Amino acid sequence: MSDDSVVVTGGAGFIGSNLVDRLLDVGFRVTVIDDLSVGSMSNLECASKYGSQFAMVRQDITSAELLDVMEAVKPRYVFHLAAQAAVRHSMSDPMFDARVNILGSLNVIESSRRTGVERILYSASGGTLYGEPDPSRFPLTEVNKHQPLSNYGVSKRAVLDYLGAYRAIYGLEYVALALANVYGPRQDPHGESGVVSIFAGNLRSRQRCVIFGDGNQTRDFIFVADVVEAFIQALHAGDGEVVNISSSTETSVNELYWEIAKIVGSSLEPEFLAGRVGELGRSCLSNKKAREILGWKPQVSLSDGLGQVIDWISSQG
């Protein structure tokens, strides 16, 4: 095991690739394990400039060969971000979702144990973990009951149990960051998630946006660079904990829409369609524990973060 060697599963994806850039910048040797099912090599263009400090292995986390890769790399830390990350896909194909998110994660955890990994940093889903509790409990702290209401929420949550068991049985340390709604550069504007990228992409090219429901549903938007810093802080704090990483602020989809419209100078009205079944009405996670345990707090305001997304989309041509 090398002291500065880390693996980032899902490192070619939106959050993972932003994390990879930061890890390389602070001097880690980074190996990305990603099957490129969603992520892309274009997200790793900056990373590729780091020469031998960076390696990319195209590998499915559910495969038996994952152990060979882990044995060759012998990382000290594993940032586990690879996942089937779409709630709707988890509802249309629950078996696939469970295979990647539960069996794939278990494969990552077991390979980590076998190769002497010191710590796993896991990207849990704060938006789905607590189901839909009474908004009088907002912002939701980590003591709220885990009661996910989607297959994706269930599969992401199941990994917390495995991490807890491996810690108790084998002493494999972990921190689970329960991420709110992450947005930022490299989020796929063509995908079904990432409402920020979708609105920003459409409004920039003067296309009408669709809002499902009345737009009063709220989300807790957190900028990707803030999430990356939380992962860095969690290298040395938060042992065995689930920690929300959030803005602790509720923003409605309508507010988000008009904030982006203002930045791009559009007055186009959105189109409202029927709300989607199973969509959360409101979401807001407390970040008190992250402040106390990780010494972390969000640094990027929504308007600054949205500005960075729009700059990034513009730079893509």
Ligand X SMILES: NC(=O)c1ccc[n+]([C@@H]2O[C@H](COP(=O)([O-])OP(=O)(O)OC[C@H]3O[C@@H](n4cnc5c(N)ncnc54)[C@H](O)[C@@H]3O)[C@@H](O)[C@H]2O)c1
Name the segment binding ligand X (CB under 6 A); options: 58-66, 110-118, 168-176, 295-303: 58-66
User: Considering the rule CB under 6 A, would residue 189 count as an interface residue with ligand X?
Assistant: no
Using the 8-state DSSP alphabet, how is residue 281 labeled?
S
User: Considering the rule CB under 6 A, would residue 47 count as an interface residue with ligand X?
Assistant: no
Minimum CB distance to ligand X, residue 75 (Å): 15
Q: Specify whether 130 is catalytic.
A: no
Minimum CB distance to ligand X, residue 36 (Å): 5
User: Considering the rule CB under 6 A, would residue 181 count as an interface residue with ligand X?
Assistant: yes
User: Considering the rule CB under 6 A, would residue 298 count as an interface residue with ligand X?
Assistant: no
Q: Which of 50, 130, 152, 174 is catalytic?
A: 152
Contact with ligand X (CB under 6 A): which of 31, 111, 112, 123? 123
User: Considering the rule CB under 6 A, would residue 69 count as an interface residue with ligand X?
Assistant: no
Tokens of 253: 């989809």
User: Considering the rule CB under 6 A, would residue 221 count as an interface residue with ligand X?
Assistant: no
- Per CB under 6 A, which of residues 70..99 are in contact with ligand X? 81-85
Catalytic (active-site) positions: 152
Residues of the shown chain interacting with ligand X in the complex, contacts defined by CB under 6 A: 10, 12-16, 34-39, 60-62, 81-85, 100, 104, 123, 125, 127, 156, 179, 181-182
